[in-house]
Amino acid sequence: MESPKKPIFFIPQMPPFEWIELVHDRNYIEAYCNGTLNPKAQRRIGLPWSQALANRTCIAVGGTVLTAQLALKNGLACNTAGGTHHAFPNYGSGFCIFNDLAIAARVIQKLGLAEKILIVDLDVHQGDGTAWIFQNDPTVFTFSMHCDINFSGRKQISDLDVPLPVGMDDDRYLQTLAQYLPDLLSQVKPDLVLYDAGVDTHIHDALGKLALTDTGIFRREMPVLSTCVAGGYPVACVIGGGYTKDMNSLVYTHSLLHRAVRDVFENYGL
């Protein structure tokens, strides 16, 4: 009997500005990276600027592109960052500076590695920036399942939005997801799935308004990943949002995605 394969870790590199420019305005990119963004725009992002944060932001984008490339090669891959879905082409919002999901989609398309891309966004907040970027674009399908009464106040229109009531628990959440995901995969038939696995759906999250437990989040990850892999759809995962002062708890909750990736990778012999 063969022993399970050990996970392979990759370190992403700083991406070229040309990749980020596939989605974002050059003036915005340069202003943010150089620390010259105006105070109002900086407040809208919600994070104090530093060169370290600017570097991390860019490297996270490179990580999501690398994750997408690895998913196309191996069937499944996972980033330890990403999910900055509130970033619009010329401004950042909600702790999101550059939209790594959108950039990865555009880079993968530009490199000719995939044509049709499905973005599955299960963060507690709507992927409003992503929805806006890909509006009226038939090559990228945006699916956002989020708490209806939550940031942002002004929702955009995804290709498929599933607003959820405040306080939804594990079972109702998973039943709702099961109503949409399998049919959506069959309908879209993507060359690549980009999966935003935000854990701000957790019952103890400071900025979420749903009620998923650790077990519920793991039960979410397993069918999302296994349904994609079983259908032959490569899936690239990012961690999305998660907001709690208990850092150990937050790290564990984010780790549930990686644990699920490991299990699915082994179960399907990838």
User: Would you say residue 36 has pLDDT above 80?
Assistant: yes
User: Would you say residue 2 has pLDDT above 80?
Assistant: no
Burial 66-104 (b: 16+ CB within 10 A, else e): bbbbbbbeebbbbbbbbbbbbbbeebbbbebbbbbbbbb
Catalytic site positions? 86
Domain 17-267 has CATH 3.50.50.60: no
How is the chain split into domains, by residue range? 17-267
Question: What's the pLDDT at 6?
Answer: 65
Phi–psi pair at 244, nearest 5 degrees: -150, 150
Using CA atoms, how far apart are residues 150 and 7, in angstroms rounded to an integer?
36
Question: What's the pLDDT at 154?
Answer: 85
Express each pLDDT in 214-258 by its tens digit: 999 999 999 999 999 999 999 999 999 999 989 999 999 999 999
Is this model's pTM higher than 0.85 or not? Answer: yes
CB atoms within 10 A of CB 41: 15
Question: Quick one: which of 248, 160, 165 has its CA closest to 201?
Answer: 165
User: Would you say residue 106 has pLDDT above 60?
Assistant: yes
Lookup: tokens for 154: 């002004």
